Structure 1
Amino acid sequence: MQRDLQDLRKSYEKDALLEKNIPQNPYDLFDSWFQEAKKSIEIDEANAMSLCTLGTDGFPKSRIVLLKEIHDGNLLFYSNYSSAKGISIELHNQVSLHFFWPSLERQIIIKATVSKISREKTLSYFKSRPRGSQIGAWASNQSTEIVSREELEKQLNHYQDKFKGVEIPLPDFWGGYACKPVSFEFWQGRPNRLHDRILFVEESTGWAYKRLQP
């Protein structure tokens, strides 16, 4: 397959990221941008973020996960610990998170270290999930091969019957991850591809930022 995509281009002109408007703490800027994204009718899931891990095959791999909470400076998401991402994190707990909100002409790249959260906090979140999602966590041996969709449906039916009329327990293989940022890079689209890029890095005295050339 061949496609010429050279004519796909747009001019970014919606906003600017200037030093006079940059707070000293990157979490404040993140929250400001996130709240705008959440309110935008053009963005379906403002909390969708690309999680990039280093795979066991040596290749980086990105997939979309959902940010569920910011707690004590950590960005939290939940997944199957036995999944490809879980195994990758277990072996190499340095990841990249990426938020892209094209209608706002903004993106944020976060480098972070990852650790598992407590079972108590995971249980609290698990209980808040819809019952179907709770059963889905049991039914899917995430990332492993399966012969057909019908086989997956059989697994789902099995756990629906198993937990019928009872509270669904938290699987041992499922839980939360806390991503502790070590840097934030804020990108605001600007005309002529001269975009604003502000990089925050945590130092011994706190957060410091610098402007990067586009």
Structure 2
Amino acid sequence: MNKVDLAALRENYTKGSLDVSDVLPSPIQEFQKWFEQAVDSQILEPNAMHVSTVSNEGKPSSRIVLLKSLDSTGFTFYTNYLSRKGTELAENPHACITFFWGELERQVRIEGLIEKVSEQDSDEYFSVRPRGSQIGAWVSNQSMVIDNREVLEEREKSIVAKFEGKDVPRPPHWGGYRLVPHYIEFWQGRPSRLHDRIAYTLTENNQWKIERLSP
């Protein structure tokens, strides 16, 4: 088997630049602009984001989830509250989400505090999910050990039968989280690894401070 030379894997980024003078005063507005450009570029799942949480023992864990809502208050995703990330967020509400759009040579890193969205918001989003996804939210005890896939398949049959001919309600253990940011960093790849990094930091008077960082 051929061995991959990891040290030789590199790209010379040349597709764009970024300066303090280029960005909007609000990082949410700047993110919206970048996100729309990612969507227009037909990137596969541009709303896929890397969510990092930390347990009360200081142990980090990360996974990919999908951004489902964005407004002036923050970034919202939905999941099982009893999953590993849900348990860790209950212990430690500090989290980080990262977007990487390789086709555009861009990355956005967002740090902040997690809060649960309202039950009404969770109900509204759950109601528009595909029925199969609604069933799946009842079937899976997310992150729990199971003996085999047949366990899931049998439970799915049971849940399908239970809600046959009925609307599927939202499970009480499933809903939304919103990350309310206090730090957002925009990264644009540049040649020779001299990348552009623009950071927004929320100050004590609730204003965004914009600074350029060294790559």
Coarse TM-score class (shorter-chain normalised)? over 0.9
2:6 counterpart SS class: coil
Q: Tell me how far 1:57 sits from its aligned partner.
A: 5.3
The aligned residue for residue 20 of structure 2 is 19
Within a 5 Å distance, the mapping from 1:35-54 to structure 2 comes to: 35-41=36-42, 43-54=43-54
Give TM-score scaled by structure 2 length. Answer: 0.95
The aligned residue for residue 166 of structure 2 is 166
Separation in structure 2 between the aligned mates of residue 119 and residue 20 of structure 1, nearest angstrom: 40
Identical pairs, percent: 44
Separation in structure 2 between the aligned mates of residue 91 and residue 20 of structure 1, nearest angstrom: 39
1:4 paired with 2:34, answer: no
Which runs of 5 or more residues in structure 1 are unaligned? none
Q: Tell me how far 1:20 sits from its aligned partner.
A: 2.2
Q: 1:211 to 1:48 in 2, by over 3 A?
A: same
State the one-letter code of the partner of 1:90. A
Q: Is the contact between residue 19 and residue 212 of structure 2 (CA under 8 Å) also seen in structure 1?
A: no
2:8 counterpart SS class: coil
Q: Tell me how far 1:72 sits from its aligned partner.
A: 3.8
Which runs of 5 or more residues in structure 2 are unaligned? none
Q: Tell me how far 1:45 sits from its aligned partner.
A: 0.5
Q: 1:141 to 1:208 in 2, by over 3 A?
A: same
Separation in structure 2 between the aligned mates of residue 81 and residue 207 of structure 1, nearest angstrom: 31
The aligned residue for residue 77 of structure 1 is 77
Q: 1:173 to 1:118 in 2, by over 3 A?
A: same
State the one-letter code of the partner of 1:12. Y
State the one-letter code of the partner of 2:17. A
Give TM-score scaled by structure 1 length. Answer: 0.96
Q: CA RMSD in A?
A: 1.4
State the one-letter code of the partner of 1:196. D
Q: 1:140 to 1:56 in 2, by over 3 A?
A: farther
Within a 5 Å distance, the mapping from 1:192-207 to structure 2 comes to: 192-203=192-203, 204-207=205-208
Q: Tell me how far 1:24 sits from its aligned partner.
A: 1.2
1:66 paired with 2:66, answer: yes
The aligned residue for residue 142 of structure 1 is 142
State the one-letter code of the partner of 1:87. T
Separation in structure 2 between the aligned mates of residue 163 and residue 157 of structure 1, nearest angstrom: 10
1:124 paired with 2:150, answer: no
Q: Tell me how far 1:56 sits from its aligned partner.
A: 5.2
State the one-letter code of the partner of 2:121. K
Q: Tell me how far 1:166 sits from its aligned partner.
A: 0.7
State the one-letter code of the partner of 1:89. L
Deviates more, 1:87-96 or 1:1-10: 1-10
Q: Is the contact between residue 20 and residue 210 of structure 2 (CA under 8 Å) also seen in structure 1?
A: no
Query: Aligned pair count?
Result: 213
Separation in structure 2 between the aligned mates of residue 74 and residue 213 of structure 1, nearest angstrom: 26
Q: Tell me how far 1:205 sits from its aligned partner.
A: 4.9
State the one-letter code of the partner of 1:14. K
State the one-letter code of the partner of 1:211. R
